[in-house]
Structure 1
Amino acid sequence: MSVKSAERVLRIFELLSANIDGMTIKEISETLQLPQSSTSGLIKTLLNENYLSVNQQNHFILGPKLIPVGNAAMESLDISSLGHSSLKELMELIEETVFMAVLADQELVYVAKIDSNRSIRTSAYPGGQKPLYCTGLGKAYLAFMNEADRADYLNTIELKPITKQTITDKEKLEEKLQEYKQQGYSIDNEENEDGLYCLAAPIFDMKGAIQAAISVAGPKERMLRQEDSIIKHLKQKANDISAKLGYVRKEGV
């Protein structure tokens, strides 16, 4: 049994987290389709308890008391556990091997791998490390990390050829990364392992920073036959996991 006032408080928090410039009581009540009188009462209570604040435009915004709550929640999240069900669903939809990886010391570290019933031979395994510049997961990180970190990486790394398809020209790589950022996913076209084609998408946290990436990998010919379907499901599952980390996608993004 749900408690109506508690549900309304949660909807207010969700709404204001997506509107960082704040909103008036009237805007909140109209957006959530709530009576203005009860909305006003809830807002005043949350304001008195410091769960909400008022900015210079006299709009209500999220308050300082939510900061330690959010930090504690983030520390308790295990991203691979949070994403497991989505990764399993993705594997079942696509019937190809699915991975999740995080960044550690400018290298990719695999934290999850879910094999399909037609598993591929690959050198990637949980706990294993790979370069960023030649993997789909790594290029998702490079495409969506902040510009200063990407520039620092590209200025210090040597782009060694892993296969004949590895991109070793930094200008060409940067062009590809801009393309990947625009389309919302990255591609590894046999750049890390011969015959292996990979599509990867970013996982964002509540601040919009990339925290992980997920991918689908398989033999190139088989992957290309269902590429559009893979991209659709990959991006959807990436969005689902990002939402579990508190990420709120802005309109038009």
Structure 2
Amino acid sequence: MTVKSADRVINILDLLKEFPEGLTLKEIADRLSLPQSSTFHLLQTMEMRQFLSVTERKTYKLGPKLIQIGTRALETLDVNAEAQPYLRQLMENVEETVFMAVMLENELVYVAKVDNYRSVRTSAQIGMRKPMYCTGLGKAFLAFLPEQVKNNILSQIEMPAITKNTITDQDALNEQLLEFRRLGYSIDDEENEGSLYCLAAPIYNAAGEMTAAVSVAGPKNRVYPRQSEIVKELLSTAKAISERTGF
């Protein structure tokens, strides 16, 4: 049994997350097939509680209250909480930026980032979503998730070129994923951001399911020459976090 008003609120939030520039009252009501009068009252209440904000153009966008809630949600993720000391130790050992991500709706979502003093230019930030097919973390999921799950994801996504190194052919990607599965880690060779080289490995839970991925990222001219050293530290960290969460 669902409560109609609660269901509508959730649908509004789900809709607006896809439109960062915002939508008008009419656009929201039309897209969700809702009456404008009741939709207006819901939007007004959500704005008052800071779950939504209104722009000068009278469009509704996700509001600041959601940042607080989202941050707290990340803190309650067992794998995120358990992983923090290991991620920091990994960063100190390899002296590069370390990330952790989970999968949400066929994309990866960054849940942790540990910066190194040798900062790396990257658009990746906690809470940001990125494609699976062209990132080290995303390709770790594709390589180590069950075959059926991987095929289902690939059947639903497009693979546009983001850099000149992006793999856009699904057969070529599948060949690469097989190699990553054999190696035990994945590689992003400037495929999502120019000059950025990323190595990523899977994290498992007590049921043996892949729940997250951890990565080391940095400029290619720094990371590539040290790949074997970094991979050793990366795999050790992924194993330690997996064991800490029951694997």
Q: Deviations over 1:184-232 (max 9, x none)?
A: 0000000000000000000001121100000000000100121111000
**C-alpha distance in structure 2 between counterparts of 1:207 and 1:184, whole Å:** 19
- Measure the CA separation in 1 of the matches of 2:166 and 2:178: 17
In the other structure, the counterpart of 2:208 is 208
1:154 to partner: Cα distance: 1.3
Q: Does 2:115 match 1:115?
A: yes
TM-fit CA distance, 1:155: 1.5
Distance 1:80 1:204 in 2: 12
* Contact 2:78–2:245 under 8 Å retained in 1: no
Residue 234 of structure 2 aligns with which residue?
Answer: 234
Aligned residue in 2 for 1:160: 160
Quick check: 1:78 aligned with 2:78?
yes
- Give 1:103's aligned residue: 103
The 1:106/1:225 distance shift into structure 2, 3 A limit, reads same
Shift of 1:104: 0.5
**Structure 1: which 5+ residue stretches go unaligned?**
1-75, 248-253
**TM-score between the two structures when normalised by the length of structure 1:** 0.67
1:197 and 2:197 matched: yes
CA-CA distance at 1:114 after TM superposition: 0.4
Match of 2:68 in 1: none
Displacement of 1:77 in angstroms is: 5.6
Please give the residue correspondences for 1:4-83 in structure 2 after superposition, counting only pairs within 5 Å. Answer: 78-83=78-83
Separation (CA, whole Å) in 2 of partners of 1:125 and 1:162: 18
CA distance in 1, matches of 2:198, 2:184: 14
User: Deviation of residue 89 (structure 1)?
Assistant: 0.3
Alpha-carbon distance, 1:80 to partner: 1.1
Identity of aligned residues (%): 53
Give 5+ residue unaligned stretches, structure 2: 1-75
Q: Equivalent residue for 2:92? A: 92
TM-score, scaled relative to structure 2: 0.68
Greater mean alpha carbon deviation, residues 218-227 or residues 234-243: 218-227
Q: Structure 2: which amino acid aligns with 1:208?
A: G
- 1:66 counterpart residue number: none
The answer to whether the 8 A contact 2:101-2:214 is kept is yes
Count of aligned residue pairs for this structure pair: 172
Deviations 1:165-202 (A, max 9, x none): 00001000000111101110000000000000000000
